[in-house]
Structure 1
Amino acid sequence: MPPAKREVFKEISWAGKTVLDAGCGTGEMAYLIAKAGAKQVFGVDYSSAAIKVAKENYNLPNLNYECADLSKFRSKFDVIVSLGTLEHQDDPLHTLKKLKERLNPRGHLILTCPNWTNPRGHILMTLWFLFRAKITLADIHYLTPIEFKTWARQLNLELSWRTIDHDWGYGKKMILDLERRLPNITRDSKLPTDGKKIKEFIAWAKKHIVPLGKRNEFSGAVGLYHFKK
């Protein structure tokens, strides 16, 4: 199980709860939650292909999958999870408002999102802001705990958060990611550099970033955000 899903899974006790997995993809997380004793789990996704895979692979009496827009749901839930989706939404705050409306009193809203407050994020954000480089294929927003703290105040929700997958933020996984990503970014964005310069930068990062990397609350490559109503 990927680190983000593992951390979400152990975030709360799922027993007896009604749960919505918004943007469930191929359904693994919804299945694990249902298997952990949730009263009822609904997995929803825009992709009919993903829902087809979910239905073919996971089958429990307390688990349902549907290809649908969240706006079609009128039910309320004890817990809503949404993993790696908010950064793709045109208006993240509007999406959070809609999710809040579907929560029962004292409900939980648990999300994950790429985090950029680490050396990897600083490198890629520099390319984005200075050159509008195509640093990801599908992200519309590059979110950090700062945005989520602001949204929690605006929505009058309690927020606890942490970042995870720290090695991807500043360690060896970061190096592997940059080795793969930087050639594609510079090619697709037509930046004035070449493979030799990229290798020189990677060598510098191995020497000056990885050994000095220090784990802190902001250094993980993924943010986990737990809102409470």
Structure 2
Amino acid sequence: MDYYGFVRQEIIPLLPEHAPRALEVGCGNGATLAWLKASGLCREAVGVEYSQSASQIAREHLDLVIEGNAEHIDFGSLGQFDLILCLDVLEHLQDPWLMLRRLRERLSERGVLIVSLPNVRHHSVLLPLLLGGRWHYTDAGILDRTHLRFFTRDTARDLLETSGFAIADSCSVGQNWSPSRWWRWLGKWRAAEPFCAVQYLFAARAS
């Protein structure tokens, strides 16, 4: 499956029971929103996507797809949403704080924002930096060369809270993704979570 085509089923524990209108910033080819529509959680799905090729595919599945840089899009014309997804997108933006404040205005009274952010404190980043002074960008992952911002669990929470959100729930994922059996074993321990979690997921409401 390509970079734009993952269905993000790890967000299931954070989803509301029903969200008639859903917006995803950075929707890729629309796979996650299409899955939410097929499951009956949402009735109308709107996506924003920078990639032209991914946008074309998304239009086959979603009610509306806006192609372009999310930081330059007027969200005000789209109305209110009961669910907004920002899954591995905020770290690509110049000003994720401003983006969140703008999206806060688009949430309905009981709407939910779900955010996922990569954990820069992960051992695959931390150990090479501490032991070898290495910080090598890659084509994908935590040190994706297109990332402009980097977050730990605490700074991710601060990003949301200072942008006008109250965090209702959160979880970490990726402890079992490591190719090393030792790191997979260590990832089961709560104390090691900050170094083994690949991503943090948050569900938040406007405060």
Q: Which TM-score band applies after superposition, normalised by the shorter structure?
A: 0.7 to 0.9
1:55 is displaced (CA, Å) by 2.5
Distance in 1 of aligned mates of 2:131 and 2:91: 18
Question: How far apart, CA to CA, are the structure 1 residues paired with 2:90 and 2:176?
Answer: 23
Radius of gyration: which is bigger? 1
Q: Deviations over 1:76-117 (max 9, x none)?
A: 211100111111111221121111121112221101121133
Q: 1:111 to 1:210 in 2, by over 3 A?
A: closer
Whole-Å separation in 2 of the counterparts to 1:127 and 1:100: 41
Match of 2:35 in 1: 32
CA offsets 1:184-221 (integer angstroms, 9 cap, x no match): xxxxxxxxxxxxxxxxxxxxxx77x5654543253321
Amino acid at match of 1:106: R
Cα displacement (A) at 1:23: 0.8
Distance 2:17 2:68 in 1: 24
| Amino-acid identity (%) | 23
| 2:116 alignment counterpart | 112
Other structure's SS at 1:116 match: coil
The answer for unaligned runs of 5 or more in structure 2 is: 138-142
Distance 1:119 1:132 in 2: 12
Which residue in 2 is equivalent to 1:77?
Answer: 81
CA distance in 2, matches of 1:46, 1:3: 16
Supply the AA of the counterpart residue of 1:8.
I
How big is the alpha-carbon RMSD for the aligned residues of Structure 1 and Structure 2?
2.9
Please tell me whether residue 215 in structure 1 is matched to residue 192 in structure 2.
no
Higher helix proportion: 1
Secondary structure of the 1:155 match is: coil
After superposition, the Cα gap between the structure-2 partners of 1:44 and 1:210, relative to the gap in structure 1 and judged at 3 Å, is: closer
Distance (whole Å) between structure 2 residues aligned to residue 161 and residue 221 of structure 1: 14
Deviation at 1:118, TM superposition (A): 3.2
Instruction: Describe the shift of the 1:76–1:125 C-alpha distance in structure 2 as closer, same or farther (beyond 3 A).
Output: farther
Q: 150, 157, 164: which is aligned to 2:173?
A: 164
State the match for 1:89 in structure 2. Answer: 93
SS at structure 1 position matched to 2:85: strand
In 1, Cα distance between equivalents of 2:69 and 2:6: 27
Asked if the contact 1:47/1:67 (under 8 Å) is kept, the reply is yes
Alpha-carbon spacing, 1:167–1:124, altered in 2? closer, same or farther (3 Å): farther
Equivalent in the alignment of 1:178: none
Q: Alignment partner of 1:166: what SS? A: coil
Tell me which amino acid in the other structure corresponds to 2:197.
Answer: G
**TM-score, length-normalised on structure 2?**
0.77
Under a length normalisation based on structure 1, what TM-score does the superposition of the two structures give?
Answer: 0.70
Distance in 2, matches of 1:36 and 1:11, equals: 15
Show CA shifts across 1:97-142 (max 9, x none).
11112111222110112113332232255489x4554343211122
2:128–2:135: 8 Å Cα contact kept in structure 1? Answer: no
Shift of the 215–3 alpha-carbon distance from structure 1 to 2, 3 Å rule, reads farther
Give the structure 2 partner of residue 181 of structure 1.
none
Measure, in 1, the Cα distance between the counterparts of 2:160 and 2:153: 10
For 1:147 and 1:40, locate their aligned partners in 2 and report how far apart those are by CA, in whole Å. Answer: 32
